[in-house]
A = this chain, B = another copy of it.
């Protein structure tokens, strides 16, 4: 029987032949405009995948991590998971009277957007954690699927899972075709993302890293087990939590990382601090016509310190307006 190593070698030989055949006639990143940004990506991939190159990286070390909100899909005018959570918190509020005097619930339930924004990303995550509890993991997954089937984005009037960035979907596929293992490393809830991430990005559940709540194992009277989602936070995968999440769950330092905000700053630093070839990318939201334009003063997806370090260190900064031929697949 062929062993694992032989199969992998064969797989990547085939992959290389496929790439060599197809390269002249097809662009693996058709939604990216030609220029320095696109070239920085394809040059990096060429270097780390060319056997004999000083920067060659063995397949098992080709770990690529991507933030989700604002990097793979849209995060305006609210984090999409927050919209989902808001719908649920509203439905749950009557049975949680204490929320009337407790932040961030008070701000949200009274419709005080400003007070809610002042609670920052952690406030939103707390709301999300609370809104995701008191049900089994199976029931939760179903509620996310049901919400996706009916909810529509206020500006684009599309299901939220259609608001994924086509150039990034192409980048993920291009990296995988070159032997990379692609992971999501997001502040978003891991169970929320897994419901739709595989179909949207080709990223399987076991390669999604995110924030999580404590679950409680229970057996019903018939001996059937379930996992109850509690309000207790297990892990917040944001900011300095991202390197911790990568260490805890992936266990290898990535060689490529993509983010869009200061919540990704430490993940980008952590990726770049390893030895050998490294790639850090930032999606800069510059296109108010096709999507949104925001950076330093934004409450959602604030991009300030990570941007400074990117400029100082020559990390790749994607200008959505300049570098992307299209943003969404549904564009005409």
B190 touches A248 (CB 8 A): yes
- Interface residue from B7, B206, B251 paired with A15 (Cβ < 8 Å): B7
Closest CB in chain B relative to A278 CB, distance in Å: 13
Among A1-28, those with CB < 8 Å from B are 1-4, 6-7, 10-11, 14-15, 18-19, 21-23, 26, 28
Q: What's the interface size class on A, roughly?
A: 35 or more
**Bound complex: CA A297 to CA B301 (Å):** 56
Oligomeric state, in copies = 2
Contact A273-B190, Cβ < 8 Å, known A14-B7, A177-B2, A205-B251 = no
Judged by a CB distance under 8 angstroms, whether A215 is at the interface is: yes
Q: Which residues of chain B come closer than 8 Å to A194, judged between CB atoms?
A: 251
Judged by a CB distance under 8 angstroms, whether A311 is at the interface is: no
Q: Which residues of chain B come closer than 8 Å to A315, judged between CB atoms?
A: none
B4 touches A176 (CB 8 A): yes
Judged by a CB distance under 8 angstroms, whether A247 is at the interface is: yes
Q: Which residues of chain B come closer than 8 Å to A205, judged between CB atoms?
A: 250-252
Judged by a CB distance under 8 angstroms, whether A240 is at the interface is: yes
Closest CB in chain B relative to A219 CB, distance in Å: 8
Among A232-285, those with CB < 8 Å from B are 234-235, 240-241, 243-244, 247-252, 266, 269-270, 273
Q: Which residues of chain B come closer than 8 Å to A161, judged between CB atoms?
A: none
Judged by a CB distance under 8 angstroms, whether A134 is at the interface is: no
**Bound complex: CA A270 to CA B252 (Å):** 28
A248 touches B234 (CB 8 A): yes
B26 touches A2 (CB 8 A): no
Closest CB in chain B relative to A180 CB, distance in Å: 11
A243 touches B269 (CB 8 A): no
Judged by a CB distance under 8 angstroms, whether A217 is at the interface is: yes
A18 touches B28 (CB 8 A): no
Closest CB in chain B relative to A152 CB, distance in Å: 27
Q: Which residues of chain B come closer than 8 Å to A243, judged between CB atoms?
A: 215, 217, 225, 227
A273 touches B208 (CB 8 A): no
A204 touches B240 (CB 8 A): no
Judged by a CB distance under 8 angstroms, whether A224 is at the interface is: yes
Q: Which residues of chain B come closer than 8 Å to A4, judged between CB atoms?
A: 173, 176-177, 202
Judged by a CB distance under 8 angstroms, whether A214 is at the interface is: yes
Task: Pull 7 A–B residue pairs with CB atoms less than 8 Å apart, ordered by A.
Answer: A1-B18, A4-B202, A190-B251, A191-B247, A219-B269, A223-B269, A249-B249
Given A2-B19, A205-B250: 10 more A-B contacts, CB < 8 Å = A2-B14, A2-B15, A2-B177, A4-B173, A7-B18, A11-B14, A191-B251, A214-B244, A215-B243, A216-B244
